[in-house]
Amino acid sequence: MKICAHRGLSHACPENTVRAFGAAIALGVDEIEFDLWLSADGVPVVCHDPMVNRTTDGQGVVTEMTWADIQKLDAGIQTGELWAGVRIPCLAQVLELAGHHVGLNIHIKSPGSGNRLIGLVCGEIRKRGLLDRAYIAGMDDVLGASREVYASVMRCCLAGQNTPDIQVDLAIKYECQRLQFRREVPNEAIQRAGEKGLICNLFWSDEPGDAFDYARRGIDVILTNRANVLMTEKKDE
């Protein structure tokens, strides 16, 4: 079983920040997961929500804001005074931190106008020599665009998650190397995905017993908000 830190060590640190990713990498996780939008001036911004309201001291839609304005936001204060002053990172900052130390589950929320965000992400993956450890996760539009822009960048199917059998079919259609099931996935879908050679992610599990149960069912990678808890149990196995 491999462990993917969902938005970094997100139960303890401000999610989707360099602090959260650094903490997860220090724990020795196999992968980190993060979310990307394209700013108004073309910078890939790490943020889960389409708006900055929930996770920062500001307001606004990420795709309508410039990178300069986004950098002014405090992405830590919502988590407590200890984290005040932590900033939203861009893709380049996360890749500089992660280097070749960890796998990269890059959830692209929207391909951007003219598939611009897809192109920027694929370009960074190629330039930094990360084709063996970085993959793009997304819905139909992202998967189709990433296959078109640069087919050699690995893909993870998020489309069809409410219907696991269809999700396997979509993963095959978009020539994905893996797919990301939700917790309600039946054993038959996991088995079929494995037979098709697909790596199976699970979103999500935060309890060791629960996570190992999914691993025994054939799940390869567990996304978790509590990577420290699962890593401790994994090392004891």
Q: Is 49 helix (H, G, I), strand (E, B) or coil?
A: coil
As a whole number of angstroms, the distance between CA 39 and CA 66 comes to: 6
Is the alpha carbon torsion for 162, 163, 168, 169 positive or negative? negative
Q: Half-sphere exposure (CA, 13 Å, Cβ side) for 79?
A: 21
Measured at the CA of 175, the angle between CA 170 and CA 181, to 5 degrees, comes to 45
Cα 104 to Cα 84: distance, rounded to the nearest angstrom: 26
Where in the sequence numbering do the catalytic residues fall? 6, 48
The residues, any chain, with a CB within 8 Å of residue 190's CB and separated by 6 or more, are 181, 200, 217, 218, 219
For residue 224, which of 6, 47, 24, 2 has the smallest C-alpha distance? 6
